[in-house]
C-alpha cells in the first residue's frame, strides 16, 4: 500500500514509537520486526497476507475519475503547474502520492501501526539507531533498483531542502547512512519523540540518480520518477492529471498491497468553482465526489441520474479525529494579538442559526482541537492533567483549571444581543472605542478584517457573520483570490482570517509541532496559521510526544487541548463524523472500510458489468 501525501505529512499521519517502549509493553523480542506500533501492539502478524479491510480478489481495470478531496504540502486542489510536491515552491498536482513508495506504510485500521513496504523489516540497534533491511525486488518505474543510497539521499535532501512541513518533521534525524545496497541506518538526535520513527519510514523515496541531473528546489512539470504503483500519465496543466497503474509493479503481491490499487487509471479533474464541478458530475464527466456542502447534499441531488439509480449516495463513517476546523485568526496582525479581541470575534458567529438555516442541521459545533476522539478534553482536569498544568498557573488563563471551554450557544436568532453585548464589552476592555459607527484603536485606526478564501462556497456563512461584526463596529469583508495567490498568501501568513481544517492523528506525533509549536510560528508554509508561540503549549506538546503509555499521552493531550482552547486562536466551525459520497453506480467496494481512512482510491474497483451498462469507468 502506498501512503497518500495526507498520510505522510498531516497530523493524520501514521505513528511509530521508540520500540524500547513498545517491546517492553508488548513483551516482543529484540530483532527485526515487520511492523512498528507506538505502544507495542500490532494487529497483523508477520505472516499476514492482506489487510482485513480489502478484497484480496478485487479485479483490476477501468478508470476512477474524481475531484480532489484532500491535499497537503504545496498541492493545490483547483489547479497545478508542477509535479514536485516536496518543496514549498509551485502549485503541485493532487495525487502524486500514488507515484511514491516509502519504507513502511500505515495500517489505517489501527491508530498507530506501520508495516514494511520497501523495507522488509526494521530493527533498533540502540535507543537512537534504527536499521531498515530493504526488499531487493524494489524498483523505480524505469526498472532501476531502489537501493539504500536512494533512501539515504531522500531523507537527507528532504530534511535539508524539503517543504517546511517535511523538513520540520525530520529535524531530529541526525544522519542517514547506506550500508551496502540493502540496509539503511537512521540515527536520531536523542531529542526525538516516539513518533519520528514512523514519520521517517513514511517519507517518499526518491531516485538519487534521477535527481542528480535536476534542481530539487525548482518546481517543474516534468513527470517525476517514483517507485509506487502508478506513474504520471496524460495531463493538462491546471485542468486534469491522470495516473497510470504499472502492470508489472514490483510491490503488487506484497501483503500491504494485495487487493489495492485496482484502477488502471486514476484521474483528478480540476475546477476553480464548486458549482461548475457539481454540474460536471451531474453530466457524468467524472464518477465520484465527496460532498462538503450541506446545501448541495440536502437540496441539489435531485437530478435524473439519482432518481433512476445511476448515481448512488451514501455516508461512510469517519471515526478519525475530525480536526479543528474554523476561521484561524492571524495573531501576527496587531489587532488580533489580544485574546479578548479573539474571544469577541468568536461571540459574533451564530453557529446555531447557521446550522438551522444554512446547514439543515447537518453538523455539530467543533469545541476542541481533538474533536471526535478520546483526546478531547471534557469537564474539569483530572489529577494527571493538573500535574502538567500546575507549573504554569499564573502564566496561563485560570479557566484552564476549570471546566473545559466550549463555544457559546446562541439563541439561534442570527443576532444574539446578549452575546454581542459580551463581545462589545471585551473589545472595549481591549482598548477599542466607538467612533460613530466604527470601532477604532487609541490612534484612531479602524478595526478591519479580511476573510481570505479561494472560492465562494463559504460566502453564505461569512455574510451573516460579517453583519454581526459590523454591528460591533468592525469593518469586515470576504476576499476571493485565485488558487495560486491563495496558497502563496497562506504560506507567507499574509491574511487576517482564513478557514481551514486540519485532520488530527489518533496518536499525535512530531507533526503537531507544525500546528502549535513556537518553532513553526515564523516558518513559511507551516500549519501554524494563528502564529501560536507559547512556552506552556510547547512544554505540553513535548510531554505528549514523550508519553510512554497511551494513558499518559491522553492526559497530556487533554491538558494541551485545554490551553489551546483558552487561547481563542480560532473561531471554531463544525464537523460531522462521516463522509458524504456520491458516485455513479460503476464501483465495487469492500464490505468494510478502515476506521481511519476513506480508502476509496486504494481499495475500490470497477464493476465491469455495471460499467458496461452505464458506459462509464472502462
Prediction pTM value: 0.84
pLDDT of residue 10: 32
- Looking at the structure, tell me whether residues 285 and 348 fall in a common domain: no
Give CA–CA dist 57/286, Å, rounded.
Answer: 26
Give domain status of residue 414, yes or no: yes
Q: Which of 9, 248, 206, 238 is closest to 99 using CA atoms?
A: 206
Cβ neighbours of residue 334 closer than 8 Å, sequence gap 6 or more? none
DSSP assignment of 176-231 equals EEEETTTEEEEEE-S---TTHHHHHHTSPP--HHHHTTS-TTS---SPPP--SSEE
pLDDT of residue 503: 74
Q: Domain of 360: which CATH number?
A: 3.10.105.10
Residue 281 has pLDDT above 70, yes or no: yes
- Looking at the structure, tell me whether residues 347 and 217 fall in a common domain: no
- The helices-and-strands tally (H runs, E runs) of the chain is 20, 25
Q: Domain of 597: which CATH number?
A: 3.40.190.10
Give domain status of residue 348, yes or no: yes
- Looking at the structure, tell me whether residues 424 and 406 fall in a common domain: yes
pLDDT of residue 563: 98
Give domain status of residue 371, yes or no: yes
Strand bridging mode 448-453 / 497-500: parallel
Cell of 486: 491563495
- Looking at the structure, tell me whether residues 488 and 420 fall in a common domain: yes
Stretch 169-194: mean pLDDT = 94
Give domain status of residue 320, yes or no: no
DSSP 391: G
- Looking at the structure, tell me whether residues 292 and 209 fall in a common domain: yes
- Looking at the structure, tell me whether residues 558 and 496 fall in a common domain: yes
pLDDT of residue 32: 93
pLDDT of residue 30: 65
Residue 20 has pLDDT above 60, yes or no: no
pLDDT digits over 432-476, tens only?
999 988 999 999 999 999 999 988 888 999 999 999 999 999 999
Length in residues, the chain: 618
Q: What value does the mean pLDDT of the chain take?
A: 92
Q: What residue has cell string 492482506?
A: 50
- Looking at the structure, tell me whether residues 569 and 586 fall in a common domain: no
Stretch 546-556: mean pLDDT = 92
Cβ neighbours of residue 608 closer than 8 Å, sequence gap 6 or more? 59, 61, 62, 618
* Total domains, the chain: 2
Q: Where does a domain end: 557, 575, 593? A: 575
| Helix (H/G/I), strand (E/B), else coil: 513 | helix
Cell of 223: 513527470
- Looking at the structure, tell me whether residues 10 and 98 fall in a common domain: yes
Please list the helix, strand and coil fractions of the chain in percent, rounded to the nearest 5, in that order: 30, 20, 50
Residue 532 has pLDDT above 70, yes or no: yes
- Looking at the structure, tell me whether residues 552 and 618 fall in a common domain: no
Give CA–CA dist 189/545, Å, rounded.
Answer: 15
Strand bridging mode 113-116 / 35-37: antiparallel
pLDDT digits over 387-412, tens only?
999 999 999 999 999 999 999 999 99
Give domain status of residue 443, yes or no: yes
- Looking at the structure, tell me whether residues 123 and 213 fall in a common domain: yes
Give domain status of residue 68, yes or no: yes
Residue 359 domain boundaries: 326-575
Stretch 340-355: mean pLDDT = 98
Cell of 304: 435524473
- Looking at the structure, tell me whether residues 144 and 256 fall in a common domain: yes
Residue 163 has pLDDT above 90, yes or no: yes
Confidence of residue 68 (pLDDT cuts 50, 70, 90): very high
Give domain status of residue 350, yes or no: yes
Cβ neighbours of residue 273 closer than 8 Å, sequence gap 6 or more? 455, 456
Give domain status of residue 419, yes or no: yes
pLDDT of residue 141: 98
Residue 178 has pLDDT above 80, yes or no: yes
% pLDDT > 90, the chain: 82
- Looking at the structure, tell me whether residues 262 and 287 fall in a common domain: yes
Strands (E) located in 104-169? 104-106, 113-116, 119-126, 129-134
pLDDT of residue 318: 84
Residue 27 has pLDDT above 50, yes or no: no
Residue 355 has pLDDT above 90, yes or no: yes
pLDDT of residue 17: 30
Amino acid at each position: 500500500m502506498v501512503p497518500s501525501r495526507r498520510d505522510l505529512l498531516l497530523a493524520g499521519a501514521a505513528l511509530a514509537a521508540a520500540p524500547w517502549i513498545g517491546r517492553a509493553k508488548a513483551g516482543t523480542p529484540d530483532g527485526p520486526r515487520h511492523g512498528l506500533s507506538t505502544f507495542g501492539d500490532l494487529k497483523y502478524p508477520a505472516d499476514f497476507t492482506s489487510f482485513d479491510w480489502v478484497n484480496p480478489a478485487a479485479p483490476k481495470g477501468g478508470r476512477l475519475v474524481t475531484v480532489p478531496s484532500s491535499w497537503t504540502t504545496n498541492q493545490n486542489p483547483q489547479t497545478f503547474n508542477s509535479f514536485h510536491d516536496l518543496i514549498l515552491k509551485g502549485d503541485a498536482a493532487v495525487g502524486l502520492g500514488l507515484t511514491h513508495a516509502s519504507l513502511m506504510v500505515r495500517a489505517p485500521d489501527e491508530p498507530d501501526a506501520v508495516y514494511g513496504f520497501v523495507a522488509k523489516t526494521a530493527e533498533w540497534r540502540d535507543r537512537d539507531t534504527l536499521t531498515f533491511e530493504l526488499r531487493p525486488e524494489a524498483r523505480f518505474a524505469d526498472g532501476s533498483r531502489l537501493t539504500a543510497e536512494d533512501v539515504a539521499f531522500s531523507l537527507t535532501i528532504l530534511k535539508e531542502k524539503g517543504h517546511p512541513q517535511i523538513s520540520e518533521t525530520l529535524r531530529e534525524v541526525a544522519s542517514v547512512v547506506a550500508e551496502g545496497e540493502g540496509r539503511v541506518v537512521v540515527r536520531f538526535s536523542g531529542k526525538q519523540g516516539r513518533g519520528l520513527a514512523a514519520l521517517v519510514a513514511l517519507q517518499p523515496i526518491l531516485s538519487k540518480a534521477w535527481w542528480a541531473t535536476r534542481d530539487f528546489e525548482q518546481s517543474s512539470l516534468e513527470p517525476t520518477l517514483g517507485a509506487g504503483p502508478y506513474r504520471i500519465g496524460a495531463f493538462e496543466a491546471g485542468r486534469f492529471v491522470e495516473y497510470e497503474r504499472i502492470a508489472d509493479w514490483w510491490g503488487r503481491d506484497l501483503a500491504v498491497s494485495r487487493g489495492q490499487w485496482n484502477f488502471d487509471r486514476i484521474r483528478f479533474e480540476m475546477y476553480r468553482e464548486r458549482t461548475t464541478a457539481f454540474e460536471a458530475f451531474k453530466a457524468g464527466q467524472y464518477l465520484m465526489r465527496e460532498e462538503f456542502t450541506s446545501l448541495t447534499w440536502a437540496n441539489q441531488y435531485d437530478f435524473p441520474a439519482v432518481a433512476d439509480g445511476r448515481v448512488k449516495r451514501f455516508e461512510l463513517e469517519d471515526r478519525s479525529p475530525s480536526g479543528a476546523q474554523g476561521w484561524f485568526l492571524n495573531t501576527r496582525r496587531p489587532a488580533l494579538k489580544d485574546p479578548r479581541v479573539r474571544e469577541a470575534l468568536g461571540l459574533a458567529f451564530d453557529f446555531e442559526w447557521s446550522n438551522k438555516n444554512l446547514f439543515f442541521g447537518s453538523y455539530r459545533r467543533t469545541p476542541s482541537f481533538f474533536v471526535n476522539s478520546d483526546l478531547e478534553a471534557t469537564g474539569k482536569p483530572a489529577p494527571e492533567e493538573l500535574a502538567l498544568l500546575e507549573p504554569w498557573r499564573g502564566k496561563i488563563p485560570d479557566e484552564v483549571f476549570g471546566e473545559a471551554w466550549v463555544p457559546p450557544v446562541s439563541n439561534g436568532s442570527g443576532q444574539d444581543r446578549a452575546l454581542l453585548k459580551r463581545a462589545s464589552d471585551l473589545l472595549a476592555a481591549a482598548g477599542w472605542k466607538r467612533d460613530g459607527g466604527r470601532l477604532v484603536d487609541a490612534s484612531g485606526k479602524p478595526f478591519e478584517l479580511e476573510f481570505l478564501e479561494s472560492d465562494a462556497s463559504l460566502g453564505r456563512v461569512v455574510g451573516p457573520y460579517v453583519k454581526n461584526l459590523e454591528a460591533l463596529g468592525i469593518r469586515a469583508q470576504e476576499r476571493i483570490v485565485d488558487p495560486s495567490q491563495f496558497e502563496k498568501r497562506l504560506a507567507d501568513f499574509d491574511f487576517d482570517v482564513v478557514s481551514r481544517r486540519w485532520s488530527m492523528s489518533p496518536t499525535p506525533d512530531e507533526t503537531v509541532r507544525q500546528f502549535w509549536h513556537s518553532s513553526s510560528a515564523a516558518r513559511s508554509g507551516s500549519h501554524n496559521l494563528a502564529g501560536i508561540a507559547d512556552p506552556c503549549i510547547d512544554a505540553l506538546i513535548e510531554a505528549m510526544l514523550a508519553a510512554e503509555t497511551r494513558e499518559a499521552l491522553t492526559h497530556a493531550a487533554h491538558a494541551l487541548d485545554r490551553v489551546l482552547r483558552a487561547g481563542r486562536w480560532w473561531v471554531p466551525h463544525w464537523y460531522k463524523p462521516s463522509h458524504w459520497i456520491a458516485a455513479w453506480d460503476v464501483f465495487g467496494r469492500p464490505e468494510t472500510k478502515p476506521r481511519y481512512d476513506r480508502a476509496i482510491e486504494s481499495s475500490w474497483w470497477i464493476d465491469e458489468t455495471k460499467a458496461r451498462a452505464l458506459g462509464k469507468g472502462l
